[in-house]
Chains A and B, each alone.
Chain A
Amino acid sequence: MKRRDFLKNTAASSTLLGLGSLPLSSFESANALEVKKITILHTNDVHSHIDPFPANHPKNPGQGGVARRAAVIDQIRKAEEHVLLLDAGDIFQGTPYFNYYGGELEFKLMSMMKYDLATIGNHDFDNGVEGLLAQLPHAKFDFVSANYDFRNTVLDTHVKPYKIFKKGGIKIGVFGIGVELKGLVDKKLYKETVYNDPIDITSHFAKKLKEDEKCDIVICLSHLGFEYKNDPEKVCDRMLAQKTKNIDLIIGGHTHTFLDKPIVEKNSAGQDVVINQVGAYGINLGRIDFYFDNKMNLSSTGRKIIL
């Protein structure tokens, strides 16, 4: 992206202009102007909401709808070169589209919107592991989950712990984390799926992605839930952010939390982790832009987070 466009498009433009001390020779300044932008778009808990809410709906009149979300995503894709589109689970269950067709249409539409990756929510087990497997041929995107062990189920080999994307020379590692199934989903649906501790698994895979795979951005696609005020011991995205390191962004789901804007937590190494969740039903689309350059925009306190 050209620097001029970048300045026009970002809310940070005034700060950037204030920096002033740009390199001198034309050679160096050509490099200094190199700004890469990675745009992460995300949804969670869409729950089979394919049509928008009716105009007279008491809570969300006229909001949501796949055909409109697709239009918004398309517009962003036209303006941005490097876009990743992610979903944090509970794609299934919530409208008759799921009861009648078992998730077929949800996956077909997400494929058409060019979703890159999703994780598995508890309701994605609602037709059993077999029901999810049966719909996978309709999904032209992958599923990741690092803490569900599917080895003794029909989903074995269909779900990987993480996936790495390369966009404009930037390496982005995304791993999935799911909520505890016992007591939440009937055992006859999840069968022999094993739930492993989210914090242990996250520490392992975030380190692997950041240090071994040298990912520039590490994203956790989580269906743990944002937070549990009545049950502060229960693992949630805020706790996950605080108790681990090597994660840049947690995209959450499960608790249907409508955040006004993304929040920031400090991780175990004192670094910032951005957490975002966009409620439910496709009412909102989350957007997180990561800007990369050769440190010209780096402030003395590290990277800047504008929310």
Chain B
Amino acid sequence: MLHTKNYHTFLKLPTLILLLLTTYSSFSQEVVNTIIEGKQININEAAEPKPEYNSLIAPYRDKINRDLDEPLAVCSETLDKSKGQFQSNIGDFLASIVLEKSDVIFQKREKKSIDACILNHGGIRAIMPQGNVSARTAFEILPFENTAVVVELKGEQIIEFINYFITEKKPHPIAGLTFSISAAKKPKNVKIKKEPIVLDKTYYIVTNDYLANGGDKMDFFKKGTKTFDLDYKMRNILIDYMKDVDTIKVTSEIKVVQEK
């Protein structure tokens, strides 16, 4: 028995080594990437959610839901930043409520009134859907922890903003400010609170702290002679406004006109 076993091992070993060597050498020298195949897989209702994930999420979700899902107002139409060339309905809405709410605080604290509001298109992160809206909607639209800031600017810097606006080709939200874009792509008929702009006059512009610090390359804000932090989160402005009104309606004022 013993003899036979040894005999078999003796026979098998070289074959095994040969096999390993051949596999190894052919693999290590010749295996190359021959095909790349790529695609996107949509994640949708076709996939059955894995329950263990939902059990981990549930306690976090429940706490947040209790806070956020209480309906605060009704939105009369879907507000979407991707609609409109120079203005979006959601941008117009946000700029107007930021101007309105911030002005109340600024008047109380500084005894001065805010002239205009300038925000950034990129800061709007979701749509405001038609129907019930809640604090959750506000978190979706304004997820960032930015606060409202008033910057003291000269008229010149507002012209710089308009030049920036023309170059950027994005509907950055504004309120209290109207202008035309001339055929030569220059600012024209610039008005603040319906009055023609004066280049060396001081204006109070409300924006958020991100832009006030030059975010989104809005460098003109850094030329501000004074900055007042209102300690009022942009998102809380929206939530407070939702609490104030029953229905959210947007006025369709034309603020930017392009001349041909």
Contacts and interface: CB of A to CB of B under 8 A. Distances in A.
A28 B23 CA distance: 9
Contacts of A74: 50
Interface string A34-72: 101000000000011011100001110011111111111
Given A66-B53, A183-B216, A292 B40 contact: no
B90 to A, nearest CB: 13
Contacts of B67: 96
Contact of A292 (B32, B54, B61, B125): B32
B127 A261 contact: no
Interface in A197-243: 216-217, 230
A304 B32 contact: no
Contacts of A59: 127
A67 B38 contact: no
7 contacts: A31-B26, A63-B44, A70-B50, A109-B57, A183-B217, A289-B36, A291-B34
B193 to A, nearest CB: 30
Interface range on chain B: under 10, 10 to 19, 20 to 34, or 35 or more? 35 or more
B35 A304 contact: yes
B32 A71 contact: no
A94 interface: yes
Interface residues of A, number: 84
B53 A99 contact: no
A289 B37 CA distance: 5
Contact of B140 (A64, A95, A274): A95
Contacts, number: 207
Interface in A62-90: 62-72, 74-75
B34 A261 contact: no
A124 to B, nearest CB: 13
A304 B41 contact: no
Contact of B53 (A47, A70, A286): A70
B33 A67 contact: no
A242 to B, nearest CB: 18
Max chain A C-beta neighbours (<10 A), residue from B33, B50, B214? B33
B33 A217 contact: yes
A108 to B, nearest CB: 7
Contacts of A155: none
Contacts of B139: 95-96, 99
Given A58-B129, A230-B168, A259 B40 contact: yes
A148 B144 CA distance: 23
B169 A288 contact: no
A307 B215 CA distance: 38
Interface in B6-41: 19, 22-23, 26-27, 30-41
B144 to A, nearest CB: 7
A163 B140 CA distance: 34
Contact of A10 (B32, B37, B209, B216): B37
Given A31-B23, A58-B78, 10 more contacts: A50-B57, A63-B43, A70-B49, A96-B68, A105-B56, A261-B40, A284-B43, A289-B36, A289-B37, A297-B35
